[in-house]
Every structure is written in C-alpha cells, then in structure tokens.
Structure 1
C-alpha cells in the first residue's frame, strides 16, 4: 500500500477534477495494489473525492482519510503518514499539491522506532507476554496520532493474549500436558473463552481485512468441531477421532514450546503427541479402549497364550501394540529413532533424569513423530486429520499482526 497526500481545499480553486484525474493515472501506472489517499484540506474536498472513489470501479482499492488544514493538522498529517508508512513496511510516501506537483517524502528516522511494533508479536507469544509494554511510553508530537497508534497496538496484541489462552489452558501449567490421566485431560480441555474472544475481536474491529476474518473464522470452525467431538466422546468413548484432533492441538503447543526454547518439554510433548494419536488409532482398530480415567490395551499374553485387556502403563506399551497392529512394515531406522526420542525424554527432567535437552533433540523428536503420523495417514486405513488440519491452519504470525496494525491505525 502507498500513502498519497492530496493538499486541496475546494474553496482554494477549481482543480478538483484535474487532481482526481491525476490521481487516477497515478493509481493505474504505479506498482502498488492498494492506496490510502489522505485529503489535507477542507470537508468539501474530502466529500468530493470520497464520492468519486466510491463511484469508480477502478478505485475500489483506495481508502480515503481526512485531516483538516491547520497548524495542528499539519503536525497530525506528518505524524500519521510517517507512522502509517512505517507500519506498511515502506520507506516513502507521496504528496500532490493543489497545482499538481508530485513530491516524494522519505520516512523520517525519528519514526523508525514504530517498527518495533511490527516485530514483537512472536517475541511476546514465545515468552508468554500478552502486552507490548515497551511502547507504552511512545509519544509522538501529536497526541491524537499517539492515541491511534497505542489503540492499534493494543488491538493487534490482543491476539497474543487470546493465543496464549488457547495454547495453555487455565490454569497455565506445563505439567497439565503430561500428568493428568488421558480421558480426564481430554475432557478438561475447553475453548469457550477462546471462541468468545475471537468472535468478539471480529465484531469490535470492523477494519480488519476479509482475509484476517477468514483466518479467525477458520479457528472458530476448528474449535466448534473439536468441542462437538469431545461432547460425543464423553458419551461414547469408542469415538476415536477426538484423539486425532487433540494430538493436532498438542502439535501446535509443541511448536510453540520449540520456538520458546523449552526443548525438554518439547521432547516430552512430542512423545505425548504420538501416544495420543496412536491411542486414537488403536481405539479405531479395537486394540485400545478408555476404561475410567485410564486407557486399556488389548495385548497378547504369551504365558497364557491369549489376549487380555491391560492398562496402557505409558508410551512404550502403546507403541508396542501399534507396531503389532499397523498393517505396513515400519522402517527399522524409524523404529530406532522412536527409541532414541523415548530415551531422550527419559533422561530429561520430564522423564526419569535431569539432563537438559537441546534444540537438535527437540527437532529430531518432532520430525520423527510427524514422519510416523504422515505414514499412518497415507495408509488406506488411516484418517488424514493432520494433513487436513495442517493445510487449513493459519498461524497468527507477524504478517497478520502487521495487517491488523495497518488496518486499525486509521484517522477516519
């Protein structure tokens, strides 16, 4: 997007149509897909151009703003165009005078600190900080523009708070991912607050783009589908699809743990992802079933020479039954990698040891788990839940945060 200032008051001269035609030529000959025209003049000029843009099919990609011509307005114009250009990631904006002179202005260095706002989303998310406290003290010469910027930052960073509430269930406790019994952990998951926050976010922020709304609506659709599965599962524990959705949810958490440099917990959660996914697979194959708050496995007893239902007792038993049940052979090197990941987990503080784990250990864990899940889902008997969700899922990253900052930082 390019910012274009039009310096024009209707009472000054009769060049309105000439300026509009000049703008039109500018739009169709420049490389930018979208423009924001800031009318620096009087209300009659703003009304004229607004009406023209709304009636023109070719100017559907043009936003229009208005700043009244005055001493205070000039300071506001300078602040607004510099800050907005920074947020857009551009280095310059354009100025058209009432006598059709085109001037290019570069963003002043004193506004470059605004770029921090565009780059802080991931930092806040990975460090679990829900507010951009570093910019609270940011003060521009014009108080009104400062207020706009702070409001835009707050709007964008609300998504950080919502994301944290989604990734880390209340109470926020890492041990929740690892210590609660299988069925109890699943039934305690609740996204009601997250769903309400997202719906309210869309309702209150009319200026966010249609694409961002689609991202948010896709999140709500996932939550609705997952929640409906949990309700069905609570009455019929033979419904195994909920385990695949929950494993995907753990996968999202695991990615955040890796980015947060919590490598030991990332490895342990990787094991939890695979255990949860395989539990769903084995329930579907009638080799596992929930029993109270535990999972039981249908395992062959070599001493008694018959099958019997026994408590899962951990990942090792679930993995053993899966290898026995899976109709396709698993590569020996892949099985070896699973053993390696399990050994890493057991040596960490979340297993039976105290060794800190590294980024390479966490990366190996996630890659191994995803390779096995991908292999299962390519099998004719598998359900491609992960593939489907990975294609549909959109991370709320810096690009979306930038989009929201730009959309909500508007003077009119």
Structure 2
C-alpha cells in the first residue's frame, strides 16, 4: 500500500486506494481492450480520463501481460510533433523494462538511428530534436512496425486525440486509421475532451475512424461515492469533514474530479488531526487557490485581444451563456456587434478558453471563472 501525506491527488496516478470509484468504467474499458477492441473515451477535460487509463494500465490483468504507452498530444500541432512524442514516450516506457524490451524498438527506428546514443550503463538516450524527424510518415511506419512485432502485445493510449484533426497534414486521420486497422499486436485508446470534435471523428460516416472503436462517455463520479471516498480518507487521518461541505463542493464544480481534488487537497492540509473541516474553510481554500493562480490568469487576460476579453468576462458573468449574438446579450454587456462577438467567440473556442455544451457557452477553467467574477 502506498502512503501519501495527502490522499487527494491532483496530478498523475499513484495507486488504487487514491482512485475514486469508476468501477463500471474500469470494467468496461478492460473488457473491451482485452477482447481486441479499440476504444474512444470522450468527456470534458479534468473529468479523469487520463486517471482511468492509468488505473486500467496498472491492474495486473494489463501490466503483467502488455506493454502500455500513454502519450499526451495536447501540445502537438503537426504530424511531425505527433511522431516525435510517440517515439519518445515508447522509448522512455520501455527503458526500465530491460534490454530485450527496448532493443527491438531502437532497431526498428532506422530513420532515427543517428539520433540515439547510449549512456555509460548501455541505456539508450533520446537525443533527438524535432527537426531530426526528417520524414514523419517513414518514422511512423517504423513505430507501427515495432508495435506489430513487439515481444508482448501493446496498448497505446493517445490523450487529447482530437488534436490530429487540426494538423495541417490533411491525411493524418486516414493514415493513422490504416495503421491502427492493420496493427494486430496492439490495442488503442483515443481519449479526448473536445466532445464535438471527438464525436465527429468517430461517429461521422465521412471520417476515417467511423465505426472503428467502442465509445466510452465519461460522466462525473457518483456524488454519494465521492462523498464516501473523501470522508474515508479524512477518517483514516483522524480528521473529519461534514457531508454538507463535500456535497456543496460537488455541486459547485459539477462533479469535475480535478477541481474537487484540488480544493479537498487544501482542506485536508489545513484541517488539524482530531478536528472537523467546515464550510468556512472551503472559501479560505478556494481563495488560496485563486491567489496562487492570480498572476497566471492576469497574464492570460492581458494577452487576449480586447474583444475576446470583453466577451469572456460577459460569458463568465452569465455563468452559462446562450444566444451570444442576440441584441439582448450584446446590449446587456455593452458588446460592439454580433459580427465582432462571432469573431471573438471563434478565437476563444480555438484557444480553449470557452467551451460549448449544447447551446450554452461557459469559461472552461472553473477557477479562472471564479477569479474573473472576483475581479470584474
């Protein structure tokens, strides 16, 4: 059992005891993967997609029988960057598993041979720069060749997969679909947080990945399960927390896992042993978090064009805003015109400051939203 000073983990995956619920989703994802299905996981960001994948990959049923690779492509903008990240992740994952594991991969990457060196203990080093990937399609072919001949079956999870739809290389989806389809030694998980983009990629008959995966929609963890999880960890540390505190937090952040964990991490830290966490401490913790992000949020706002800044503050004040180009909304928040609102909205959506759910728009980062309300 892993022991932590604070059980409310805010980054990465530590151990099953710090992972709340997701029993049904874990069982579903495992069943699909071990029965030769590829899976798309779709949910809002910070709902726990990556944690669920890591949790499954840590289970004996997977870790003892498969090589597992998790690549985050959120920051990638081209196929070259995708290939670079994929290769780097595979090598760093294989290195601790011994020479037999990594040697086959290094030998497969003929196009990048010059970019590898070996340290004093004989371990391979990824000394490549992005520019060393001269022919991304060739290197991608070599990586998939490795996946198809690896000495264990592989599981490859690609986080924020919707990014590939934005690459300038228009054939990326079709190219990946072809490789995935013919790679019988590997299963793939495609996780994404932009639901409309992920939906189009996997549900539209016009797209290459149409009907090629099983789809798992990740909703918020059940409130009762999360309340019990939080109270359990307070109890173990000889602390207590009122049910109403967790209940109101859950509602405030709509059950989005990361925000709950972030606030509870602070609450756990400031609650002395033998005492109870109460509602007054919640505002103290939220203020502490907002103050810690204040400089970052000020900089982000400063860098936004004026019209985008005005629209984001208007959406924030509205909470969940609809009919943004209507005369009523424009007049209420003294915005310039419907055409400038449309242009500003497009920019905010592209930068991920704003998200759309159904017909309503809201600020993506809930802490940013609270900070804006506090300051404007």
Where on the TM-score scale, by shorter chain, does this alignment land: which range? under 0.3
Q: What TM-score results when the alignment is normalised by the length of structure 1?
A: 0.23
Q: What TM-score results when the alignment is normalised by the length of structure 2?
A: 0.25
Q: Which of these two proteins has the greater Rg computed from alpha carbons?
A: 1
